């Protein structure tokens, strides 16, 4: 009898222990499931090969005749690899981040050495960049009202808002916007955005660009980057965008930017002659995207203006030679435009397998001029005006992956040499979770 009672006691304790263990396991699984339900993981990347049938010598524009019959050169590159990580906390709060590896990473730092008479000092071990492209926390009040704080994409132009490699046909990002403006343009600031029926809007408060980083080749392209461990914000700027989706398959977008750029520097000048210099930057942009019946077309038109461009040009060229600034003339106005169109021939097929894939034949035209207009005594650089004709294919074996191939012809005015190339790329963009 005692043995039976003892055995029953052991069985009872074991059952209770097992039930408790099972209950704890269920709770753990529930917590894990809840965590993974709120987790977002994704990214995009590009691998590219180019054969350029022109010289890449730094003097090919200043001594164009010497490089007219230069041999071709090739390049393998990894333009961008981005890892996206986000999380939904609940109650309308979310977090998102993007870490971007450009051209394989970097080990670079620039500092202003106070111990060495204020000289700039840099150490470079290998090329490329590792960039925190996005890092923000957002509160959603409704579909029409969202408030975002942190490191955000500036909503100006086509490419900044649509920079995934599956959102354009070319192997590399559209050359005009990728050359003249920061791209992808990201700043630490605050934005307000929302959607209503057929419309999307966004407005952002940001640190201003720095006129010291403007140059004759890329205008404002590097003006949002900081060579320091922090972002100088002596001046501020605003950006806004509105998109319309009223017509099926068509998106129309308008965006703009305004800010003062002069003296937005770690060492602003106090000289009286620069008292009224503001370096106002105004950018206006129109872009569109149409997709229907197997046909896709995208395009943009941008115009940028910098006030006090002549004074800024002279000032920039007077900066220290060992500083991280370009020290060149700067245009008062720039013009950028681009359009591409392609047709998916697999959309004509009755084969179910082919219909799940896509095969585009496309053409593209770009025009941009980083010295479209100059002010005062500043001379325009003839090589700054470029037109690019591109034709090629995009094959999508699945929605998230594309294989690209193209022939591109960059035309410069005389006496400069044209720059043809062949580019091949493999890209992906998608969410893993």
- The CB density around residue 318, as the number of other CB atoms within 10 Å, is 9
Report pLDDT for 106: 62
State whether the Cα torsion 349-350-353-357 is positive or negative: positive
- The CB density around residue 200, as the number of other CB atoms within 10 Å, is 17
Report pLDDT for 37: 83
Angle at CA 90, nearest 5°, toward 85 and 94? Answer: 35
Higher pLDDT, 104 or 147: 147
Report pLDDT for 27: 57
Query: What's the pLDDT band for 7 if we cut at 50, 70, 90?
Result: low
Average confidence score pLDDT of the chain: 90
Higher pLDDT, 37 or 433: 37
pTM of the model: 0.87
CA atoms within 13 A on the CB side of 92: 10
What mean pLDDT do residues 370-391 have?
94
Instruction: Confirm or reject CATH 2.40.160.10 for domain 2-431, answering yes or no.
Output: yes
> Cα separation of 307 and 276, whole Å?
11
Ramachandran bin of 89, using left for φ above 0, alpha for ψ from -120 to 50, beta for the remaining angles: alpha
Give kind and range of the element (H or E) at residue 252.
strand 250-260
Is the pLDDT reported for residue 91 higher than 80?
Answer: yes
Tokens 């230069």, residue? 70
Sequence-distant (6+) residues with CB within 8 A of 242 are: 199, 200, 201, 202, 253, 254, 255
* Per-residue DSSP letter, 278: -
Long-range contacts formed by 288-292: CB under 8 A, 24+ apart: 288/250, 288/251, 288/252, 288/253, 289/158, 289/162, 289/250, 289/251, 290/249, 290/250, 290/251, 291/249, 292/248, 292/249, 292/250
Is the pLDDT reported for residue 116 higher than 50?
Answer: no
> Cα separation of 233 and 212, whole Å?
13
Which of 389, 407, 325 has its CA nearest to residue 110?
325
């Amino acid at each position: 009898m005692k043995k039976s009672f003892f055995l029953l006691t052991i069985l009872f304790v074991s059952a209770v222990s097992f039930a408790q263990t099972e209950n704890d396991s269920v709770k753990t699984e529930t917590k894990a499931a809840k965590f993974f339900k709120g987790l977002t993981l994704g990214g995009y990347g590009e691998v590219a090969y180019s054969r350029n049938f022109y010289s890449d010598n730094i003097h090919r524009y200043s001594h164009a005749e010497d490089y007219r019959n230069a041999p071709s050169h090739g390049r393998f590159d990894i333009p961008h690899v981005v890892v996206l990580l986000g999380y939904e906390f609940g109650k309308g709060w979310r977090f998102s981040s993007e870490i971007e590896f450009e051209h394989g990473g970097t080990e670079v730092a620039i500092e202003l050495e106070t111990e060495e008479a204020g000289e700039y000092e840099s150490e470079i071990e290998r090329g490329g960049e590792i960039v925190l492209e996005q890092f923000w926390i957002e509160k959603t009040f409704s579909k029409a009202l969202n408030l975002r704080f942190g490191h955000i994409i500036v909503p100006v132009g086509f490419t900044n808002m649509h920079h995934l490699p599956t959102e354009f046909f070319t192997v590399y990002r559209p050359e005009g916007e990728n050359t003249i403006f920061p791209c992808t343009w990201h700043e630490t600031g605050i934005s307000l955005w929302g959607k209503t029926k057929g419309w999307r809007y966004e407005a952002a408060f940001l640190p201003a660009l720095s006129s010291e980083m403007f140059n004759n080749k890329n205008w404002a392209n590097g003006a949002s980057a900081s060579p320091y461990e922090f972002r100088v914000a002596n001046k501020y700027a605003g950006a806004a965008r509105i998109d319309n989706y009223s017509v099926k398959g068509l998106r129309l977008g308008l965006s703009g930017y305004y800010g003062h750029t002069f003296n937005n520097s770690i060492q602003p000048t106090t000289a009286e002659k620069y008292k009224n210099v503001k370096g106002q930057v105004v950018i206006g942009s129109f872009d569109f995207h149409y997709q229907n019946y197997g046909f896709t077309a995208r395009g943009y038109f941008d115009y940028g203006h910098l006030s006090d461009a002549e004074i800024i040009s002279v000032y920039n060229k007077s900066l220290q030679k060992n500083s991280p600034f370009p020290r060149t003339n700067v245009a008062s106005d720039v013009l950028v435009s681009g359009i591409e169109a392609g047709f998916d021939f697999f959309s004509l097929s009755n084969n179910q397998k082919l219909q799940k894939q896509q095969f585009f034949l496309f053409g593209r035209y770009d025009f941009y001029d980083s010295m479209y207009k100059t002010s005062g005594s500043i001379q325009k650089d003839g090589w700054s005006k470029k037109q690019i004709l591109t034709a090629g294919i995009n094959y999508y074996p699945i929605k998230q992956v594309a294989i690209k191939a193209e022939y591109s012809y960059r035309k410069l005015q005389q006496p400069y040499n044209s720059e043809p190339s062949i580019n091949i790329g493999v890209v992906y963009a998608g969410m893993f979770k």
